[in-house]
Amino acid sequence: MQPISYETPDRATVAIAAARQPDSLFVAGGTTVFDLMKLNVLRAKHLVDVTRLDMPALHSMKVSADTIWLGAMVRMADLATHAEIKAICPMIAQSLDLGASQQIRNMARLGGNVLQRTRCAYYREPSFAQCNRRNPGSGCAARDGHNRQHAVLGASNACIAVYPGDFPQTLIALDATVHTLASGAKVREFPFAQLHRLPGARPDIETVLQPGELIVGFSIRRGAWMRRSLYLKIRDRQSYAFALSSAAVALELTQQGIVNEARIALGGVATVPWRAHEAEAVLKASLFSEDVARRAARAAFQDATVHSDNAYKLPLGEQTLVRALLSAAALEVSV
């Protein structure tokens, strides 16, 4: 591990200016950054700890009549156990409970969670020269290598690494908005769906954030579909494993069972947090049934591309979504 410098400013302007310098990174819980530095994948020379910034919005969770606010410095564990948010939108807490061990949830912050890097073994092992995320232009060893856990949606010739997160699926399903602060006190707001970039030809550029741009928090407009929501995660083992397939589902049904609103995001199968708009379109205005759920699941994966070891993700992903939809539709929801 290379020598590094470390600072803990209390003013955002100071933190942003420091993080704009070459080889500098923001750090909060550090559960991803420190890992990758130990592996010599990230080679930052200066770390800017943002956990002590004097910005109330960064550290707060608020529920109003029409909006939920989640500050970027809120710990995963604190949001997972927030009673009001659990009641309003169960899938938020479920995605966090299933996202990591209790020890990591006690440290990891929401802002860092959405920016976590892929767990692709070729990315995390510097001895593999071919990794376009780590060494742009070097190739993608996973395409012809061991790719059992890799993406079937959103991949490119340059990268097929899967996005590992759980909580971000709920944010994209719920049309969350990202709030950031950049140099010159520039405030920016944009849909969470625009935060992560598809790999394309430049998988090393993972988000639309500029150097030194700090995520302040996320806002979510409340809706009736939140109450009938859940997060389903399928993995190799029940604890401390990343998703092979997951689904964040929220439904609004009439008393007759007609789908007024459907919100669906998929995890474990795509290169970025993945909104399944095609599946939602099948469901909307339909009388909900298992057959409709299966047609929606097929639509969600209609553009999937498989590789040598991950063809199983197509039937697994479809069945995961069907199971999530059926479970959500069966929930007892107060009017």
The per-residue pLDDT for range 65-103, each reduced to its tens digit, is 999 999 999 999 999 999 999 999 999 999 999 988 889
Terminal Cα distance for the chain, rounded: 56
Q: 245, 207 in Cβ contact below 8 A?
A: no
* pLDDT tier at 1, thresholds 50, 70, 90: low
**DSSP assignments along 144-174, one per residue:** SS--TTS-SBS-BTTB-PPP--SHHHHHHHT
From residue 192, how far is each of 28, 89, 282 by CA, in Å? 20, 17, 23
Q: 113, 165 in Cβ contact below 8 A?
A: yes
HSE of 80, CA atoms in CB hemisphere, 13 A: 22
Which element (helix H / strand E) includes 250?
strand 245-253
User: What is the value of pTM for the model shown?
Assistant: 0.95
Tokens of 164: 């590992």
pLDDT over 70 (residue 335)? no
